[in-house]
């Protein structure tokens, strides 16, 4: 659980790359966000409740390298105990992290092994 919280805390440092209004800067040509992830992010943003304020990390979508591929983590933020969902670039649901049971694995591997790449969106 501490590693998951650490990953979420480190992810908030990506805020420096975000523009005012809760949307991240447009990625360069080599860092395009897949269309289905853009669509999921737009839908997620409409329903997200947590906003970044002081020690509270708002809802976010972050990109990681995990199991030799890019994955996208949709986190509801720290104001709720909901599960964080992980999708691949084709929007396949790889599983959930956290929640009531405190799951930390995706495909049998600890998600703590993932490498943070960037924040796509944060509220």
The answer to whether 14 touches 27, Cβ cutoff 8 Å, is no
The answer to whether 44 touches 74, Cβ cutoff 8 Å, is yes
Q: Please give the distance of CA 47 from its chain centroid, rounded to a whole number.
A: 15
Nearest to 11 by CA among 121, 118, 123: 118
Whole-angstrom distance, CA of residue 69 vs CA of residue 104: 18
Number of domains into which the chain is organized: 1
Q: Name the pairing type of β-strands 83-88 and 93-98.
A: antiparallel
> What SS3 class is residue 82?
coil
Instruction: Write out the residue range of the structural domain in which residue 115 sits.
Output: 2-122
Task: Report the Cα–Cα distance between both ends of the chain, in Å, rounded.
Answer: 23
Give the pLDDT band (50/70/90) at residue 102: confident
Q: Please give the distance of CA 44 from its chain centroid, rounded to a whole number.
A: 11
pLDDT in tens, 43-75: 999 888 778 777 767 889 999 999 999 999 999
- Say what the pLDDT of residue 10 is: 38
């Amino acid at each position: 659980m501490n590693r998951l919280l650490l990953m979420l805390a480190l992810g908030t440092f990506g805020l420096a790359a975000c523009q005012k209004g809760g949307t991240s800067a447009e990625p360069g040509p080599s860092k395009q966000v897949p269309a289905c992830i853009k669509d999921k992010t737009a839908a997620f943003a409409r329903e997200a409740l947590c906003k970044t304020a002081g020690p509270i990390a708002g809802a976010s979508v972050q990109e990681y390298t995990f199991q030799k591929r890019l994955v996208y983590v949709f986190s509801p933020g720290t104001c709720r105990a909901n599960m964080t969902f992980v999708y691949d670039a084709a929007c396949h649901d790889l599983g959930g992290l956290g929640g009531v049971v405190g799951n930390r694995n995706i495909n049998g591997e600890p998600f703590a092994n993932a490498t943070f790449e960037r924040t796509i969106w944060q509220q």
